[in-house]
Amino acid sequence: MPSMRLTKQKLLFKQFLENNKDRDMTVSEMSELLEDSGIKLGIATIYRAVNRLEAEGTLIRIVNGSTSKAAYRYNGADSMVRTIHRVFCTSCGKTAELSFKFTEKLDMSVSDTTGFSISDHQMMFYGHCPDCRKN
């Protein structure tokens, strides 16, 4: 497969993602944030970049189960953990990471039960956060 030519737009987009690596964003949120920062990329360009970066593993897709709306999180070379373990509030969108000890035990249990050697996975629990449950 031929390597992709690194254009100025691709470089700006990758830098934008690296600067927002701890944030889950939809394509429309990316577009708005890019525009707010003075970077003008068309929505089709962003979609193409997102699809390419997801295919190569640089972006991880996270789907909100209540709306089926996809968000993406940067997963570049400096990211140590490629696996996502998270709880998502379907009311306000708040997320919380699950503890490593919990997920490590789950990985071992799945491996022991199935005989599979687990290399990667995503796990998302959906519900309502304490603040939304109060309301």
CATH number of the domain where residue 103 is located: 3.30.1490.190
User: Looking at the structure, do residues 68 and 88 belong to the same domain, yes or no?
Assistant: no
| Structural domain boundaries enclosing 72 | 1-78
User: Looking at the structure, do residues 98 and 60 belong to the same domain, yes or no?
Assistant: no
Cα–Cα distances in Å, from 114 out to 22, 31, 119?
32, 42, 13
At residue 36, the pLDDT reads: 93
User: Looking at the structure, do residues 47 and 110 belong to the same domain, yes or no?
Assistant: no
User: Looking at the structure, do residues 19 and 72 belong to the same domain, yes or no?
Assistant: yes
Question: Which residues partner with 97 through β-bridges?
Answer: 86
Rounded Cα gap, residues 103 and 100, in angstroms: 5
pLDDT, mean of residues 3-26:
81
Those residues with Cβ within 8 angstroms of residue 109's Cβ, 6 or more apart along the chain or in another chain: none
Q: How many domains does the chain have?
A: 2
Q: Is the pLDDT at 55 greater than 60, yes or no?
A: yes
Rounded Cα gap, residues 125 and 3, in angstroms: 37
Per-residue model confidence as pLDDT tens digits over 77-118: 555 445 567 787 878 877 787 777 777 788 888 889 999 887
CATH number of the domain where residue 48 is located: 1.10.10.10
User: Looking at the structure, do residues 1 and 64 belong to the same domain, yes or no?
Assistant: yes
